[in-house]
Structure 1
């Protein structure tokens, strides 16, 4: 209640001071001279801006097709051309302030005008230049109000009031200014960290290294960037890092017992990235029956996508503690086989050559490490059983379906050579007299 009354009294005093100041300005020849200098400074700024801006635009504007670093830098600078007018007015007004103070011994009016031009520059920055939604919001609700308070002369009083207003959280007390400063600085730091992380990740993705190592470098860079941002934020808020270390140690011991699985999965993820035994794009199958293509690897888990479009989230620890079958292994060949049967009336000595030649015509079937191989597997109840083995680059499911294609080749080859594919025969024996 007392703080509210103090704020009201300060506001009333500021209003009374403003009224007295306005009366002095209206009745003072020095004030009218400063008003004149403000108008002259603004008009001069407009003339210089009209001459300077088109030339700078022609000089800085790069070719539309160019994407070099220099062209990107020139495009970046071009965004700030709307600031030229208010900044020129600010500079000319500053020169006018020096003149009026040397002649009249005061420059309150022209100093106020100079601060107004600075406010107009901040508003132009927030309205016309900043494109990022987060930065535009920050400029709109923090930068513009701060420059408005500075222009009106209330900035120092507001800062002092916020500094004297405390907020308690248990035994810890913060000033409202420290909290506000932490929110603004934290938002900027973590936005900058996110931007830096995306830029560094894009750069790392272009480097010639193993996918697993690339993922590890991206994660280490990400943790480093946000770790540095967090430490800077603690320093800006005035929190002692030694106290933070003590608190962090105590919290770490408590979390260590409750988050053992998370820590285990995190370490397992690092091992996976370093060893590269499985990486994004590989088709894997675990002992538990989970199978799919790895589409994403995070610090805690690995995401598999099955051929029917479902996602399976597998903890990283399972890749370390259980047996994993990697069918892809960075694009290595895989062997498959299809079974078929022929009639007992067939000359089976001709079968291997016919089938091997037919399967070899498939565009995806390889000759290395081994060409198609047709083998006799046994004598069944209804026919003679064969199997043909073949090698392909890829997984036999989803969009590939090599087995289906090869079965078509086998069927057509047998039909073209007049070879019968058997079907089950059953002999029915009827005891006793036949029914009439």
Structure 2
């Protein structure tokens, strides 16, 4: 084709040039036996993949499907493999196309058409993977905006060209210099590594928390150590992938050290205090503690910076770890030890007080939460009040007198019923008024 385009705008001339070039390439392909052979092999690869998939997939489904009530690790692995069966068709087509490419290159010395078809099958496999198999939102997002574009560029043959261009473009940050490709590789690899680190940390924490023979504080410490190890390895691997030598991070490490020494000293203090608490085991999840300012609650969560207490009215109190080291903390739980409680009551002055201790001890001992060890319930005479004789009963329980364990209320009910049963009067306040020099009635 010999067209005079000198009078046309440059963009039109360029577009027509590309169109003519594409037409000539397509014409060569249409008239080339090698191109027809590659088209035929692509069609044959796809048909063979369809036929083989229809025969294999029912068998694999039957073999990989575990019983409905099976929860073993092997059963979970079989279910996971079962989810990948939609990949069977594009992967088989890709494999057959790869074999056909080797054949055409050995016979005709070229394989451009079938190589493009092979890349297309790979793109279809990636699309099925992202759309039907991956369920994690982060991985699905990464697959949609990273994996699919990369595979599409590979399919059209532009991936190597773009990679070379990104490798030649460098970015400098202080004494560290790296290419844009290294930066992109670091962002993608870092996202995957830290996602994998988070998943591994969740799995290891769940496994450690199932070890009932370990003390709660030991489990917490092991979980924190595993978290530090996992993310530390992820960081080192990321630096190696980006090609950043660890020695070049000395300046950054020094800056972080200065920051810890000034602005971040409280964070560092709380973190170190948390490690000390885990090592000593003085306070851990499940303990009921009372702070120096009078606030009290159950420890429901520990973090690197603080402990979270839940009060009986459902509120959460965030207490820095440093407070557990530098202030007075009362731990009522102490890994399940008993606590002594006390309830006061009074009886009338008409009562034979020698009978009261046995009656009350018998009544309080009937409560299922009251312990006989380290000491049984004990009734003490406290004094002679204005309205009655004051007593107090002390008893030991596992727990505290609040929330689901209303020990004091239950014991007061038992005392009331026992005194009523023995006709012992519980006094109420009264006064005797004496009038002197009062006028006599006439």
Distance of aligned partners of 1:40 and 1:114 in 2 relative to their CA distance in 1, 3 Å threshold = same
Contact 2:344 2:390 in 1 (8 A): yes
Which of 148, 171, 189 matches 1:144? 148
Equivalent residue number for residue 33 of structure 1: 37
Aligned equivalent of 1:427:
432
1:382 maps to 387
Report SS of the residue matched to 1:266: helix
Q: Do structure 1's residue 413 and structure 2's residue 418 form an aligned pair?
A: yes
Secondary structure of 1:239's partner?
coil
Describe how 1:288-327 pairs up with structure 2 within 5 A. Answer: 288-327=293-332
Q: 1:63 deviation in Å? A: 1.6
Equivalent residue of 1:314, what SS?
strand
> 2:274, 2:386 → 1: CA distance?
52
Tell me the C-alpha RMSD between the 2 structures: 2.4
2:373 equivalent among 368, 374, 379: 368
Deviation at 1:19, TM superposition (A): 4.7
Which residue number in structure 1 is paired with residue 203 of structure 2?
199
Q: Secondary structure at the match of 1:258?
A: coil
1:243 to 236, 248, 257: 248
Q: Distance in 2 between matches of 1:14 and 1:69?
A: 57
Query: Could you tell me how far apart the structure 2 residues matched to 1:69 and 1:308 are?
Result: 41
Give runs of aligned pairs for residues 156-195 of structure 1, distance below 5 A.
156-167=160-171, 174-195=178-199
1:66 aligned residue:
70
Distance change (3 Å), C-alpha of 1:74 and 1:34: same
Output aligned runs, 1:324-335, within 5 Å: 324-335=329-340
Gaps of 5+ in 1: 1-9
1:255-275 CA distance string (max 9 Å, x none): 222222221211111111111
Q: CA deviation at 1:286?
A: 2.4
Structure 2 gaps, min length 5: 1-13
Separation in 1, partners of 2:101, 2:304: 59
1:305-353: CA deviation from partner (whole Å, max 9, x where unpaired): 1122211111111211222221111222111111111111111111111
Query: Does the CA-based 8 Å contact 2:176-2:248 persist in structure 1?
Result: no
1:226 aligned residue (224, 231, 235): 231
- Offset of residue 162 of structure 1: 2.6
- The secondary structure found in structure 1 opposite 2:342 is strand
Separation in 2, partners of 1:335, 1:251: 49
1:57 is aligned to 61
> Secondary structure of 1:309's partner?
coil
CA-CA distance at 1:219 after TM superposition? 0.6
| Maintained 8 Å contact 2:260/2:268 | no
Q: Is the Cα–Cα contact under 8 Å of residues 349 and 388 in structure 2 kept in the other structure? A: yes
Task: Give the Cα–Cα distance (whole angstroms) in 1 for the partners of residues 61 and 435 of structure 2.
Answer: 103
| Deviations 1:346-403, CA, capped at 9 Å, x for gaps | 1111111111111112121122222221111111111111111111111111221100
Identify the residue that residue 123 of structure 2 maps to in structure 1: 119
Shift of 1:78: 1.6
How far apart are the structure 1 equivalents of 2:95 and 2:339?
73
Confirm or deny: 8 A CA contact 2:216 2:285 kept in the other structure.
yes
Q: How does 1:96-111 map to 2 (within 5 A)?
A: 96-111=100-115
Q: Residue 6 of structure 2 aligns with which residue? A: none
How many Å apart are 1:95 and its aligned residue? 1.9
* Aligned partner of residue 274 in structure 1, secondary structure: helix
Which residue of 2 is the match for residue 337 of structure 1? 342
